Amino acid sequence: MTPEPQALPGLLTPEASLHRLADDLAARFTGVFARETVDRYVFESYTALARTARVGAHLPVLTARFATERLTALAQTEGAIASDVCEVLFVCVHNAGRSQMAAGLLQHHGGSRVHVRSAGSQPAATVEDPVVAAMAEIGIDLTAEFPKPLTDDVVRAADVVVTMGCGDACPVYPGKRYLDWQVRDPAGLTVGEVRAIREDLDRRVRSLLAELHTAGSPA
Amino acid sequence: MTPEPQALPGLLTPEASLHRLADDLAARFTGVFARETVDRYVFESYTALARTARVGAHLPVLTARFATERLTALAQTEGAIASDVCEVLFVCVHNAGRSQMAAGLLQHHGGSRVHVRSAGSQPAATVEDPVVAAMAEIGIDLTAEFPKPLTDDVVRAADVVVTMGCGDACPVYPGKRYLDWQVRDPAGLTVGEVRAIREDLDRRVRSLLAELHTAGSPA
């Protein structure tokens, strides 16, 4: 990409890579979404992550994942992609601690029986290091995860929404189950303190999974 | 709307009012945007404001304004709505102080010669009270303004983007002029201190306006 003469050095020049991503996703979602929708998802997903992410170099990769996950969620909601497992969304404030841990635990214990997403009302720049460390101790790898703002599409795709500390930041739609968990925020805590939160979340997640299993997956 | 049995009391049940808003906007933008795009803008705008806004009661009204502004910006970019004045976007961190003041000042001095927008990389819940007070002293009313997250659509619609303290949160596209202003953040300051920032911004805004006037508006 040729740098714009008027562009400031610290700013980002994403256009060419985002158009390539939009081409790829438009092909993948042919017959599901209008090209206009795919374009908007790609560019808005980029701008949403750029607002809070600190490492600009990773943005194109994270944008590709975020836009793909959002379009997939929307396609599920509209019935264009089948989902035969329970879809669970965890929401906290920064998507850097509690919601990432809960998502990792549920995916770990639930395996192919669940599909898990997470988001934050005010996403942080990165997942907290002690959180990544505490989860690594039990064999759950969060190194590739990143904080994402809560979006409408992932709420719509969810069967169960679990909020933790984010107030009423999450829209309520009919036909979903909403739970609010009172869990300590790991922000700024040591790995030792985060372990206790991990154990608290582990009990809650196992209990939720047992309930979902008893209730049966949505077909 | 019938409350969902599983919904928590503090959470929001927006669906019916958002569908009405989408109907209105789909009619207004007939031939410009697919219905799918209008629906997504309405619901994502709602969720984006709900993430950070504190007063849930105002959310439907703010969502209507935010979604309308965003769709208008996108329609201008695509040439479906003519813009014969200079489009200026101010971006700061919280969209609660600097960018709101600069936008108010430029619109005040520029009148019909400019169209002004503002946004934040991490929007606050409301515009700062001392900021509203300091602007009221010079006859500029910010009481109806609200902090909004930076979105791709308003960047694309801008001829000039002025960033203040938000790092590289703003995407850079060709053909725009980018400026970065070093202006003190009014967060937590008294009205007296905010007045000095207002005067600083006033000088910068008048100078920008004189330049834009000399350069001529984009046709």
Same domain, B111 and B201: yes
Asked if A50 lies within 8 A of B169 by C-beta distance, the reply is yes
Quick check: is B152 in a domain?
A: yes
Which residue among A82, A115, A138 closes a domain? A82
Quick check: is A113 in a domain?
A: yes
Q: Helical H runs in B12-114?
A: 15-28, 35-52, 59-77, 98-110
Same domain, B99 and B76: no
Chains A and B form CB pairs within 8 A to the count of: 150
CATH number at residue A35: 1.10.8.1060
Least Cα separation, residue A147 to chain B (angstroms):
14
Same domain, A63 and A94: no
Same domain, A75 and A152: no
Burial category of B84 from C-beta neighbours within 10 Å (exposed 0-12, middle 13-18, buried 19 and up): exposed
Same domain, B188 and B144: yes
Write out pLDDT tens, residues A88-145. 999 999 999 999 999 999 999 999 999 999 999 999 999 999 999 999 999 999 999 9
pLDDT band at A167 (very low <50, low <70, confident <90, very high): confident
pLDDT band at A56 (very low <50, low <70, confident <90, very high): low
Quote the pLDDT of residue B2.
39
**Closest Cβ–Cβ partner in B15, B37, B155 for A37:** B37
Same domain, B99 and B173: yes
Quote the pLDDT of residue B216.
60
Same domain, B23 and B118: no
Of chain B, the end-to-end C-alpha distance in Å amounts to: 47
**Looking at chain A, which residue has its C-alpha nearest residue B175?**
A4
Q: How far apart are CA B107 and CA A163, in angstroms?
A: 40
pLDDT band at A21 (very low <50, low <70, confident <90, very high): very high
Q: How far apart are CA B29 and CA B191, in angstroms?
A: 42
Asked if B172 lies within 8 A of A8 by C-beta distance, the reply is yes
**What does the mean pLDDT of chain A come to?**
91
Quick check: is A92 in a domain?
A: yes
Write out pLDDT tens, residues A58-78. 899 999 999 999 999 999 999
pLDDT band at A213 (very low <50, low <70, confident <90, very high): confident
Assess B6–A contact: CB distance below 8 Å, yes or no. yes
Quote the pLDDT of residue A136.
98
Quick check: is B105 in a domain?
A: yes
Which residue among B34, B64, B82 closes a domain? B82
Asked if A178 lies within 8 A of B14 by C-beta distance, the reply is no
Q: How far apart are CA A158 and CA A175, in angstroms?
A: 10
Quote the pLDDT of residue A12.
55
Residue B22: domain span: 13-82
Q: Are B38 and B72 in contact (CB under 8 A)?
A: no
Interface of B with A in 54-73 (CB under 8 A): 56
Q: How far apart are CA B163 and CA B169, in angstroms?
A: 9
Assess A100–B contact: CB distance below 8 Å, yes or no. no
Quick check: is A146 in a domain?
A: yes
Q: What is the average pLDDT across A163-187? A: 94
Give chain B's domain count. 2
Asked if A11 lies within 8 A of B152 by C-beta distance, the reply is no
Quote the pLDDT of residue A19.
94
Residues of chain B in contact with residue A208, where contact means CB-CB under 8 angstroms, are none
Quick check: is A3 in a domain?
A: no
Q: Are A163 and B51 in contact (CB under 8 A)?
A: no
Q: Interhelix angle for B35-52 vs A35-52, to 10°?
A: 20
Q: How far apart are CA B189 and CA B195, in angstroms?
A: 10
Same domain, A59 and A105: no
Same domain, A60 and A106: no
Quick check: is B73 in a domain?
A: yes
Same domain, A47 and A104: no
Same domain, A76 and A91: no
Which residue among B25, B53, B82 closes a domain? B82
Assess A177–B contact: CB distance below 8 Å, yes or no. yes
Q: How far apart are CA B43 and CA A203, in angstroms?
A: 34
Burial category of A81 from C-beta neighbours within 10 Å (exposed 0-12, middle 13-18, buried 19 and up): middle
Assess A172–B contact: CB distance below 8 Å, yes or no. yes
Q: Are A185 and A114 in contact (CB under 8 A)?
A: no
**What residues of chain B score a pLDDT lower than 70?**
1-12, 55-56, 216-219
Q: How far apart are CA A212 and CA B37, in angstroms?
A: 34
pTM of the model: 0.91
Quote the pLDDT of residue B82.
87
Question: What is this model's ipTM?
Answer: 0.90
Residues of chain A in contact with residue B150, where contact means CB-CB under 8 angstroms, are 47, 51
**Closest Cβ–Cβ partner in B4, B74, B150 for A47:** B150
CATH number at residue B150: 3.40.50.2300
**Closest Cβ–Cβ partner in B44, B163, B177 for A152:** B44
Residues of chain A in contact with residue B122, where contact means CB-CB under 8 angstroms, are 51-52, 122
Quick check: is A100 in a domain?
A: yes
Same domain, A141 and A106: yes
Asked if A51 lies within 8 A of B7 by C-beta distance, the reply is no
**Looking at chain B, which residue has its C-alpha nearest residue A71?**
B40
Assess A51–B contact: CB distance below 8 Å, yes or no. yes
